[in-house]
Structure 1
């Protein structure tokens, strides 16, 4: 793995790269409260299969820039970061893969710039429009999404999540995953990332921007690029019903359900790596079914 920094869309992003530069580009987008390290089990697998892997710390996380304004974390802005990364790689297209918030960014990148996305792989987050519908109308999802409302409160969420250098966040990861998913060594890496100056504030600002700065209107919300949705069926935060509703908005989509929690790429790392390889097209980027 090579660690580098890339200027894109007015910010400087820390990016971990691996694999041959001549291979098809794969961009791996982490979610909350992770950073590039969340893909550690898939980076080498994809690089060895011939892909050129870029795994950024998205804006606000770990070693990347952390703008102060909530508006700096609007979904349209986050999508522009991804397009800037593809441009920096001197590529027209990339296979875009995302988990959690990274999946929301990946979905909206495919909606907004289908000509720049070769294939889309989303993990355990639905199409953003489906998420909005369920979060507003479905009582079960409303209960599961309670923390989004809490994150709108000024300063208090930052205080709680910063408590004892991220001890509460570490508890959330462990309590919402299968036993042994996150080791003590893993959590040390996460706590180092969370304690970067301004990181917790910026991570929460993603949720604030989702409410305060809605996406600009699109002519169509359909996803026209080939799409794979990987969904851990024991997710405590998101209802399984949203998976098929998301695929219904895809011209060429399929969903694979796995017996995991929300942290699917951690609990079934080999299976997830293989699914991404298959969807992206192994070795030379040829598509496979």
Structure 2
């Protein structure tokens, strides 16, 4: 079991897995998606912790039983939480920082790379996209079919049924659709992982600010790792990726939406040898 640490920002605690062992090492920030928590990165933490300092934050409300402050689930606050932690572990901005996100964590990775580009040296997207890249699929019928839940989560009664009435049913359904083995620890997550469902409401509103906005390209090396049977997001094409990233690779592996779990060994081997993690 890992050390779960915390820091306060604006009166609320930010909980995170703290694997900072050697302050001379580069840093990886691992950002989980929905419905999930930071423990799902255990395989990647074990694989990389001898080379990097690693922190893996938990979205508010998914770890403890404290009452969820929904305002801290909005994009701006989530981004500032991560920047606050980065200030703690990289106070002078001298260390190389890499961002690894899964699902909604990829939105945070992209946003932070654009805001704090001076310290971010690489990004890994695991079955996830930056918000502007996702918005660019607005005319993609296949993506809308896969992402119908984004619209449903805008409705209060749907969120209530998912989080309060049938949480076990929906968790099992989501994980089953993601080809997670039935004996995997992910099925032991409880309804608290659904607390971050409110982020869909805020992100949907945020997309309206992208109408007519210029494309924001990410300049640092970026690696997309994607399960070939993802039932929630379409596999990004190289043409699409090149619109938003200057230096990016796409690796498609057997698996579903949690490919870092269903193809853990393959994902870890790719990460261990990815050129984006190599020193300049």
**TM more than 0.5:** yes
**Cα deviation code 1:105-135 (max 9, x no counterpart):** 112211232113121111111232121121x
TM-score, normalised with respect to structure 1: 0.84
Report the 3-state secondary structure (helix = DSSP H, G, I; strand = E; otherwise coil) of the residue aligned with 1:160.
helix
C-alpha separation in 2, matches of 1:116 and 1:64: 34
C-alpha separation in 1, matches of 2:257 and 2:123: 19
Q: Pick from 86, 97, 107: which aligns with 1:104?
A: 107
Q: How many residues align?
A: 273
Q: Any stretches of 5+ residues in structure 1 without a counterpart?
A: none
Q: Any stretches of 5+ residues in structure 2 without a counterpart?
A: none
Pairing 1:1-289 to 2, within 5 Å after superposition: 1-8=2-9, 11-18=12-19, 20-22=21-23, 23-48=25-50, 50-63=51-64, 67-69=68-70, 71-91=71-91, 92=93, 93-134=96-137, 136-163=138-165, 166-178=168-180, 180=181, 182-183=182-183, 185-188=185-188, 190-191=189-190, 194-195=191-192, 200=194, 202-214=195-207, 221-241=216-236, 244-279=239-274, 286=279
Shift in alpha-carbon separation, 1:146–1:232, aligned structure 2, 3 A: same
Q: CA deviation at 1:10?
A: 5.4
C-alpha separation in 1, matches of 2:173 and 2:36: 14
Q: CA deviation at 1:166?
A: 2.6
CA contact (8 A) 1:229 1:256 kept: yes
C-alpha separation in 2, matches of 1:66 and 1:286: 43
CA contact (8 A) 1:45 1:273 kept: yes
C-alpha separation in 2, matches of 1:264 and 1:226: 20
TM-score, normalised with respect to structure 2: 0.86
CA contact (8 A) 1:8 1:85 kept: no
C-alpha separation in 2, matches of 1:44 and 1:60: 25
Cα RMSD over matched residues?
2.6
**Cα deviation code 1:43-89 (max 9, x no counterpart):** 111113x21111111234223976534x5433233222221111111
C-alpha separation in 1, matches of 2:208 and 2:15: 25
C-alpha separation in 2, matches of 1:68 and 1:19: 28
